[in-house]
Structure 1
């Protein structure tokens, strides 16, 4: 719904979609998508020019952040089992990924020009993927 007073947006499909763009910022929604199951995650991404804020709206979401060595190899994974209505600010330059429960919905706030050109990824192997599966199993049972 849009009027000259208010714009109301929603996104209920699978995956990520911007819902509001204004000047230098955007609000997006991330809903469960099977490619974010821990055994299917294939990369960690960072944003070189912006922090990124996550707010869990419903369901469950785990944020994974990677600590890297000097050669950009993942040496440790730190995880947060998000709580509903708390803000989680991933700082600029930190490699991260996430997994959501099937009812998971996350609000994301980031710079409007965040894209693949300023957000490099690290492709992960089965060893790292197995760690994500184990962390998820430990946190969610």
Structure 2
């Protein structure tokens, strides 16, 4: 038996470890998560998702659509803190070049139990104004 290590230096997210109970991924900057380019939110309907910022900067944008209209918010992540995205919350990670995060989630989380919400122009602009 030996200690293993896992890494990922590519663009976007890659699952680097999975044991049947949880998955760990590394999420790096990609243009689709840039403040000027993002245009969608996602939600996982059955599982929470955790993020830890290790380098760069990230703003977690989110929307609560429980009352029939989207109410938007944003949280600027601090390095080394754990952020939980509860199941069912619309969200996205807005990053800058050089950003690296650790992602922890259930191994069953995927598009079969998740949804994508395409932001209308006005909604995207409203969220962009919340990002430092």
TM-score by length of 1: 0.88
The aligned residue for residue 43 of structure 2 is 46
The answer on whether the counterparts of 2:73 and 2:130 sit within 8 Å (CA) in structure 1 is no
Q: What runs of 5+ residues in structure 2 fail to find an aligned partner?
A: none
Asked whether 1:8 is paired with 2:5, we answer: yes
Q: How far is 1:77 from its partner?
A: 1.1
Asked whether 1:33 is paired with 2:47, we answer: no
2:99 alignment partner, one of 80, 98, 104: 104
Q: What runs of 5+ residues in structure 1 fail to find an aligned partner?
A: none
2:123 and 2:16 map into 1 onto residues whose CA distance is 32
Q: How far is 1:24 from its partner?
A: 2.1
The answer on whether the counterparts of 1:40 and 1:129 sit within 8 Å (CA) in structure 2 is no
1:70 and 1:130 map into 2 onto residues whose CA distance is 21
Q: How far is 1:115 from its partner?
A: 0.5
Structure 1 runs of 4+ aligned residues shifted over 3 Å read: none
SS at match of 1:57: strand
Computed over aligned residues only, the root mean square deviation of the Cα atoms, in angstroms, reads 1.2
Count residues in correspondence. 132
1:130 alignment partner, one of 103, 125, 128: 125
1:118 alignment partner, one of 110, 113, 118: 113
SS at match of 1:133: helix
Q: How far is 1:12 from its partner?
A: 0.8
TM-score by length of 2: 0.94
The aligned residue for residue 63 of structure 1 is 60
